[in-house]
Structures are given as structure tokens and as C-alpha cells.
Structure 1
């Protein structure tokens, strides 16, 4: 079982904590002939696959390397002098080996996505046909589940896991306990501000590791 990441969002929708617990991101390397069968687009300084997914290469994957040389944005190699698209559009460079994978989120992207989920959570509550909806608790895809627990004070604890991971509700409530014990009771912590506490970090790590090893978390 895998727990991918943890986010804590304050009542205003600002990201105040994140932990990338599992940095494992599947990568796919394949040799292509000319012309390239995938459509790429530059987005946020990354070349992304937008059409033609195949053989484990998915829409949204980032171009990571060409013939073993790392790609940085649109530049190739350690000297960053060669343009990736020029290389891909030159028939003499084929056959060519290209590596793709999921991009690692930047700090700005995490902040933006946390704010977007905060808004989506509010929309979900407003769309509820019944009053006093708890909002979005689980979003499920074929690759992961997003679990959310909102406290009475509006703090949201979000955990992304493998779809088979069990005991996530207990993990969320334990995170709330750790937040109360190590953040709120810390005289140097300002409410709703970023959490920077070593005890919180180490305790959270222990909870996530226990849950991954057993496949289910039943409490500490």
C-alpha cells in the first residue's frame, strides 16, 4: 500500500502544510520512429503529452529525458543549449529514446491546487440536496483516492493514497490530533499559518509508515 501525500488547508483555503510521503513516480522510456506519434505542448515550462497516449505513456506526462540526457523545460543536456523540439523535429535523430513520467508539483502548484480544492469543497456543500452537508470526503480515480476531513474550525486534512489503502479515516483523525498537540499547543505557532514543527513532522511520518506497512491504520 502507498500513501502519496498529505495536505493541510486552513479555513481560508491556503495551504499551510504538505508532505510528499511517497516520491515514487512511475517513468516510461520508449524508442520512437519518425514522425513522433505523440503530441506535446509547452505548459508551465514543461513539455507535456496532450494526445496519443500509449504503452504506459499518459496524457499529462512530462518529457523527462532524450537518449539518456535530462530535459529541463525545453532544453536538453547539461549545457542547456539544444532545443528539445528542434531535436524531436529532426528526422536524422531517429530512432530516438524518450523517457516520460509524472511531473513533481512545484510549491506554487501545490498552493494553487489546495485553493482549487477548497473552492470545490464549498461548491460540493452548496450543491447538496440536504442541509449541513459534510462536503467532499472522498474523490476516487483508477490510480488513487483523495480523502478529506474538515474539522469544526474549517481546517481540512487531505490524504492521497493508493485506492486499496485502508483505515484512512483513522489516519485523518490522527492527523487532527497531531495538529492539536504539536501545532496549536505550540506558543510560537500563529493560527492558520504554515506549520513548521519537527515533532509534527516526525509523528506524522510514523503514522504514515505504520499505515503503509499494515495496509490499514487503526490508531496509535
Structure 2
């Protein structure tokens, strides 16, 4: 069990801090014959699986390597265009590695904005006044927990669905934010957090949270 990621979102929906703690690495490597039994497309300068799933390869996974050569965006390390290579039947069989892509900075910013909007919508949808908004979302692969301060700062934690103690961790995260961000004379509220002491104390809190097990 572990906490995967931490996001801090300001009252306007802007991402002011993001930290990946222990995101699981998902990679599948297989040898394919022609034609490829997957539909690929270019998205955000990455070669992405758009349709078809097999052997652990899922829609949304990206091509990480071909015949051992790493892929950078839509090109191999040696400069070859990945899509051209994969569409050339003379090059098969090919050994292709797929995996879950790491979010880009733009995607992290987009997530923060979308979650901020969903949070506001959830408050408006509540049939009871003074809703606190989204506090928890659960799926079969991860759990999202959120805490919002009176000033509108949102602390969002993504964790293993079996992880416990998120409420305590969110309180600790707020304490770290108050002690090492808000009390920093060089920090302006709602601006990105760039403080070494904040990072160090957050990492210590994450290590403690990862040690918590279900009794």
C-alpha cells in the first residue's frame, strides 16, 4: 500500500504543487507480427493505443521502445519515425514495449483545473446547503482523497485503494503547508510552492504514511 501522488490546487484552480511518490511502473513488452492488432494514433506528441487491448496492453498506453530502442515522443532514439516503422510490413516481426505514460506538466495542470471544476459542480449539485464538495473518489485501482481549506486551497492525494489514514495525512500535509510555505517570507499565497524544507518534510510524511497497514 502506498500514496502515489500529491497535488495542491489554489482557489482559482491552478496547480501550485505536484509530487509523485511511488507511482507504479506498468510496462508490457511483446513481439508482434504484421499487421499490428492494435490501433495507434499520435496524441500529445506520443504514439498512443487508441483501440484494442491484449496481454496487459490497454487503451491509453504509449509505445516506449521498439526492438530495444527507446522512443522519445513520436521518434526512436535513432531518429526513425515510430508510426512509419510500425506501418512497414517489411520490418516485422517487431519487439514493442508499451506502458502507462507519465503525465506531462501540461496534463497535470489540466487535471488540476478539471478537478477544481468538478469540485465546484459537486457543491452546486448537492441537495443540502453548505456541501464540502468532493472528499473521496474510489476506483478499483486507486483512491482520491481531497481536503479544502477555508481559503480555498485544495489538497489532493492519490493512493492505493487499500491505503488507510488519508485523513491524518491530509491534516499533516496542511500543517507542512502552513509551516513551510505560508510562513516563508518569500512565498506569496496561490503561487507555486518552491521550498526545500517543504519538500523534505513532505517526503518524511509520505514515508510514515506508507508504513501504515491495515490492522
State the TM-score, normalizing by the size of structure 2: 0.96
Of 141, 158, 163, the match for 2:139: 141
Match of 2:63 in 1: 63
Match of 1:26 in 2: 26
User: CA separation in 2, counterparts of 1:46 and 1:142?
Assistant: 26
Q: CA deviation at 1:23?
A: 4.2
Match of 2:76 in 1: 76
CA distances 1:10-36 after superposition (whole Å, capped 9, x unpaired) = 111111111111143211111111110
Match of 2:159 in 1: 161
CA distances 1:64-112 after superposition (whole Å, capped 9, x unpaired) = 10111111222123x31x1111211122222211111111112121111
Is 1:194 the equivalent of 2:196?
no
| 5+ residue gaps, structure 2 | none
2:182–2:189 contact (8 Å) kept in structure 1: yes
2:30–2:96 contact (8 Å) kept in structure 1: yes
User: CA separation in 1, counterparts of 2:196 and 2:84?
Assistant: 47
Q: How does 1:44-193 map to 2 (within 5 A)?
A: 44-77=44-77, 79-80=78-79, 82-193=80-191
Match of 1:36 in 2: 36
- Secondary structure at 2:57 match in 1: coil
Across the aligned residues of Structure 1 and Structure 2, the Cα RMSD in angstroms comes to 1.2
User: CA separation in 2, counterparts of 1:199 and 1:25?
Assistant: 28
User: CA separation in 1, counterparts of 2:88 and 2:71?
Assistant: 17
State the TM-score, normalizing by the size of structure 1: 0.93
User: CA separation in 1, counterparts of 2:116 and 2:9?
Assistant: 8
CA distances 1:144-171 after superposition (whole Å, capped 9, x unpaired) = 1111111111100001101111101110
Q: Which runs of 4+ in 1 moved over 6 A?
A: none
Match of 1:15 in 2: 15
User: CA separation in 2, counterparts of 1:138 and 1:54?
Assistant: 31
User: CA separation in 1, counterparts of 2:188 and 2:74?
Assistant: 41
User: CA separation in 2, counterparts of 1:98 and 1:205?
Assistant: 35
User: CA separation in 1, counterparts of 2:171 and 2:212?
Assistant: 18
